[in-house]
Chain A
Amino acid sequence: MSRFRRTVRHYLPALIVAVAGIGLWEGLIRALQVRSFFLPAPTAIMTALFENWDTGRQIFPAAQTTLYEAAGGLVIGTVLGVAVAFLVGRFATVRDAILPLAIAVNAIPIVAFAPLANNWFGTLSPYSKMAIAGALVFFPIMINVLRGLTQVDAASLELMRSYAASDRTVLAKVRIPNALPFFLTGLKVGTTLALIGAVVGEYFGGLNVALGRVVVESASALAFEVTWAAILVTAVTGIAMYLLVAGVERLAIPWHPSVRGEQIV
């Protein structure tokens, strides 16, 4: 009960601001008679959302498609990022060969490759979107895990040395647990990037039942209420993915300063 009340008290100010903001938005749109191509009223957006939920523009099935692509990209980018981080962390020669390249590649705006990815993996295929999402996710995961594996307290390593621990034991008992909070930080960043990658990939073509396509096509049909509804659903999807990872983080590293005794957001 007290915990419930604490939670309510924690989120209440944000909730009040959100409701007041939406109310103000609605009021101003009506009072000033703003045109819908500039900014539709919240009620108009909600109406468009319900009318296009699973008929019309099919926003709900579209969200499922986009979520599938983003989640697939997140998994691909995470697996590759973790694997490369272990290789780079383990072998100095690999580090010298890969790390400067990885940093250079990261400076390229990867979303610019979206049309090419459509060519490579098929415009209608979800894999072209997963490729873009995965490429975006890869870098923060790789760099964060690498940091976690290598930025280990020197005294911890000395302690392990005094126990005559092997490199493998140090990896299992010190480096990997040390990398876990870094990994989860990378994963939280990755959820947002994966969704961006999937939606931007869709902008450049794909099946119509996908959030990026709904945004592009409704905007070109001047159905801006639908565009906004699709953006709203994209945002909610992103927040849900983020909260899922943040929840996993609380369970996985309850001892970490970023988690202990704190609310998720």
Chain B
Amino acid sequence: MSTFISKEEAVHLLREVDPDDILVAARMHYPSGIHDEWIETLEELMWFLKPASDRDIPAVSIEGLAVWIEDTVEDKALAEDVRKCAKEHDNFVNACEAVYYKLEARVYHLQKVAEGGVA
């Protein structure tokens, strides 16, 4: 993933998307229920995907997620990484976990750039 990114670009990628473009995902709490999560930023997506307990699985289409990152957030590099994760893992939960670590690295990097810490 490219690390050459301007402060303005980082701020843009970390922004809150328009309410009409929110990513509607869900959380499966096995077996107590399914709960919608309305994701507005990359950082929120990171919290959403963070591995929790064995009974807690994010419910989202990984391709749908990649499309949202690419088209709405406009982070093509991250979207590419997300698609790679899906290809490299044979099951959804592992792929989600891999996406989380990619996303975590990306978000922290963007935050540093946005704060002016990394060029």
A binds B: no
